[in-house]
């Protein structure tokens, strides 16, 4: 299984202060999660994090999509051609405006704590994985996730 963690940032010059910290944390978390296996029915779990300052009146442009499972996901890589992934689960989360404002002022440890709070609270989305998926160890996945943030 492959774990993907993607961030969307706004074009806010103030955001530069925490982007490198977020990149390091997400790379380290991805490496830890991908070092283990969690079953054969899901090949990819993707979490897309939207971390933007939403200005009043623009909220409709930053709606979070529902969790989605695709038994088969196809896309085209320019140099490799069509790629098919069997068992693709993804969901989105959006940082609150309060969390975003805290990130602007945070040092590395505080950035990690904010990301931890947002990601750990999002793990409930795993319950949206269809019941027909039998070979996925959700407990092991969540434990590994929490262990990275030293919550277990």
- Tell me how far apart the alpha carbons of residues 43 and 40 are, in angstroms, rounded to a whole number: 7
Residue 11 pLDDT exceeds 70: no
- List pLDDT tens digits, range 37-86: 999 999 999 999 888 887 888 888 888 899 999 999 899 999 989 999 99
Is the residue at 125 inside a domain? yes
The closest of 99, 89, 17 to 50, measured between CA atoms, is: 99
Domain ranges, residue 127: 2-145
Is the residue at 44 inside a domain? yes
43 near 85, Cβ under 8 Å?
yes
CB neighbourhood size of 27 (10 A):
11
122 near 64, Cβ under 8 Å?
no
CB neighbourhood size of 43 (10 A):
16
Is the residue at 99 inside a domain? yes
Is the residue at 152 inside a domain? no
Is the residue at 64 inside a domain? yes
Is the residue at 150 inside a domain? no
Is the residue at 151 inside a domain? no
- List pLDDT tens digits, range 99-147: 888 888 889 899 999 989 989 999 999 999 999 999 999 999 999 989 9
What's the total number of domains in the chain? 1
- List pLDDT tens digits, range 31-50: 999 999 999 999 999 999 88
């Amino acid at each position: 299984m492959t774990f993907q963690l993607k961030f969307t940032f706004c074009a806010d010059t103030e955001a530069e202060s925490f982007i490198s910290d977020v990149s390091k944390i997400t790379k380290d978390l991805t490496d830890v999660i991908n070092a283990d296996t969690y079953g054969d029915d899901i090949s990819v779990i993707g979490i897309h994090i939207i971390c933007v300052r939403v200005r009043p009146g623009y909220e409709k442009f930053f709606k979070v999509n529902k969790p989605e499972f695709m038994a088969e996901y196809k896309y085209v890589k320019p140099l490799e051609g069509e790629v098919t992934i069997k068992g693709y689960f993804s969901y989105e989360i959006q940082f609150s405006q309060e969390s975003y404002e805290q990130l602007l002022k945070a040092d590395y440890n505080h950035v990690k704590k904010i990301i931890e709070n947002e990601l750990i609270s999002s793990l409930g989305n795993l319950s949206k994985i269809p019941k027909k998926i039998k070979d996925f160890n959700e407990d092991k996945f969540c434990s590994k996730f929490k262990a990275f943030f030293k919550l277990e």
